[in-house]
Amino acid sequence: MAVQRKIAVVGAGVIGLSTALYIKTNLRLDGIPCKIEVFSEHTTPHTTSDGAAGLWEPIFVQGTPGEQQSRWGGETFEWLRHLRVQEDAGEMGVAQYSGYNLFHEWVEDPPWKDVVIGFRYATEAELKDVKFPMRHGWHFTNMSAQANRYCGWLLKRCKQQGIQFYRRKVLSLLEFAGWYDVVLNCTGLGSHQLTSDHDLIPLKGQIMKVSAPWIKDFTLVNGPDYVAYILPCTDFVVLGGTTESGRWDSDIEESVSYNILENCSKIMGSVKNAPILGQWSGLRPYRKTGVRLEREILQSKSSRAPLEVVHNYGHGGSGITFHWGCACEATSLAYQALGLPNSHHHDHDLLYKTISTPVDSSFCKL
């Protein structure tokens, strides 16, 4: 009988949940017995991920090479496109939107322009629709996963796959040495402390949520010293936003909300009449040197065996945007750490069907 693999995932934001689900699904398809346990200080709906609008777009990941942005982002984009037409897409908050990125000056085309659908430049007339002096713009069709809904769906599916969850703060990854075959570190900003990674800093962002069901398209305005955006989601429209480097508090500031509303009303006047549903701020896990997705072997000072770790953190403003592509790569690295031949189940239809079939039901009927 095959040996049961013991895997710990630390962190239960969008990265931890998707990584746990991806590796579990691959091991299940390969018929490899495993026990996967997730340890996290906070869980959905109380993680940073839950507050994100969930629009697909690589942002605040300057240290991550364009090739990786397109690969991880492209994989995630196609996964979300696949989910969009499934019967539980509403529950997940996954939908497709068209809209604009507008700029006060000319900018290079993004490395991901062939990932999104129908990328083109905004016309002069479109640039004049907003009350900001915009000189250049992109229009394209994009995917979105309203993050609190999507994380709730991931958590439910993880549990149906037999993944177990424990609420606790991990003080050192070496706590797992000798007990687990591999640990996946998906702690987001928590890695600043957990791995003493000082390249990882918070980028604080504050947003508002309003009820404006008439707004169907997204707009992001990039000025010389301001950013404003309107992002429709399943249950609300997100108005943003701010980016403050190095602030560790999540305080909501009324003056910031006032500015957000003023700026967004220059994009679409009607937001001023939209009932306010809430305000939120969160800390993006920004890593100056890019997303950390790699293996590391940690050696405990005690006599215990070395610990295989796969790091998957530092996704900046792109955790939703990269999550599935990163989960795929983290799974490959975990397979290497486990001494298994490379994982190879990436077909979205097969993954979705497997994820949708609880472990104790008749999996063999798939």
CA-closest candidate to residue 134, choices 123, 146, 120: 123
290 binds ligand FAD (CB under 6 A): no
Q: State the first-to-last Cα distance of the chain, in angstroms, to the nearest integer.
A: 24
* Least distance (Å) between residue 124 CB and ligand FAD: 28
* Least distance (Å) between residue 194 CB and ligand FAD: 5
| Angle of CA points 213, 219, 220, to nearest 5° | 135
CA-closest candidate to residue 285, choices 220, 176, 190: 190
> Which residue blocks in 133-253 are alpha helix, DSSP H?
147-160, 191-194
> Quick one: angle between helices 14-29 and 147-160, nearest 10?
30
Phi, psi of 293 (to 5 degrees): -135, 95
Alpha-carbon separation of residue 95 from 48, 55, 80, 109, 346 (angstroms): 21, 9, 8, 24, 21
Q: Which of 318, 332, 354, 357 binds ligand FAD (CB under 6 A)?
A: 318
CA-closest candidate to residue 38, choices 26, 56, 24: 24
285 binds ligand FAD (CB under 6 A): yes
Q: Which of 5, 9, 16, 70 binds ligand FAD (CB under 6 A)?
A: 16
Q: What residues numbered 180-199 form the site for ligand FAD, per CB under 6 A?
A: 186-190, 194
320 binds ligand FAD (CB under 6 A): yes
Stretch of 12-20, 95-103, 157-165, 216-224 contacting ligand FAD, by CB under 6 A: 12-20
* Least distance (Å) between residue 363 CB and ligand FAD: 28
Strand, helix or coil for residue 228: strand
> Quick one: angle between helices 14-29 and 348-355, nearest 10?
100
Q: Which of 321, 332, 343, 354 binds ligand FAD (CB under 6 A)?
A: 321
Q: Which of 7, 8, 14, 158 binds ligand FAD (CB under 6 A)?
A: 14
41 binds ligand FAD (CB under 6 A): yes
Alpha-carbon separation of residue 330 from 34, 52, 323, 333, 337 (angstroms): 16, 22, 10, 5, 10
Question: Within 10 Å of residue 269's Cβ, how many Cβ atoms?
Answer: 10
Q: Which of 317, 332, 335, 355 binds ligand FAD (CB under 6 A)?
A: 317
Alpha-carbon separation of residue 189 from 16, 21, 186 (angstroms): 13, 21, 9
Q: Which of 21, 55, 95, 230 binds ligand FAD (CB under 6 A)?
A: 55
Please, which residue, 7 or 127, has the CB nearer to ligand FAD?
Answer: 7
Q: Which of 5, 7, 9, 11 binds ligand FAD (CB under 6 A)?
A: 11
Within 13 Å, how many C-alpha atoms sit on residue 202's CB side? 17
CA-closest candidate to residue 101, choices 63, 142, 146, 145: 142
Q: Which of 71, 82, 284, 292 binds ligand FAD (CB under 6 A)?
A: 284
54 binds ligand FAD (CB under 6 A): yes
233 binds ligand FAD (CB under 6 A): no
Q: Which of 6, 35, 42, 345 binds ligand FAD (CB under 6 A)?
A: 42
152 binds ligand FAD (CB under 6 A): no
CA-closest candidate to residue 187, choices 207, 208, 173, 206: 173
* Least distance (Å) between residue 185 CB and ligand FAD: 9
Q: Which residue is nearest to ligand FAD (CB)?
A: 190
Stretch of 25-33, 43-51, 63-71, 344-352 contacting ligand FAD, by CB under 6 A: 43-51
207 binds ligand FAD (CB under 6 A): yes
Under the rule (CB under 6 A), what is the footprint of ligand FAD?
10-16, 39-43, 47-49, 51-55, 169-170, 186-190, 194, 205, 207, 241, 282, 284-285, 313, 315-321
